[in-house]
Amino acid sequence: MNDLAESLDLLIGREVVLDTASPYVILGRLANWNEQFLVLEQADVHDLRDTSTTRENYIVDSLRHGIRINRRRVFVSRRDIVCFSALDDVIC
């Protein structure tokens, strides 16, 4: 198993934040993954064009006050993800 696969496996069941190349930020509990998708449950798919806040402020607010769930399950293409981390690794 490679380092990425091991890292993803360690995040299963934890709340994560996915930064994408698009103006979307996606938060939720990592349920599963494969070569093409990450599967998040109890997720927030947030279009930053719909708000005046920055990406970082939105993420920190979600850490402090909880994820604003608007999807039961979402499949996120791995090719669209710039970076990912556990939500509790975010520094306020």
Query: Which parts of 35-74 fold into alpha helices (H)?
Result: 55-65
pLDDT in tens, 34-85: 999 999 999 999 999 999 999 999 999 999 999 999 999 999 999 999 999 9
Query: Considering the domain 3-89 in this protein, what is its CATH number?
Result: 2.30.30.100
Model pLDDT, residue 1: 57
Answer whether 3's CB lies under 8 Å from 20's CB: no
10, 36, 81 from 51: Cα distances, Å: 32, 29, 21
* Dihedral Cα 44, 50, 53, 58, nearest 10 deg: 0
CB 77 within 8 A of CB 37: yes
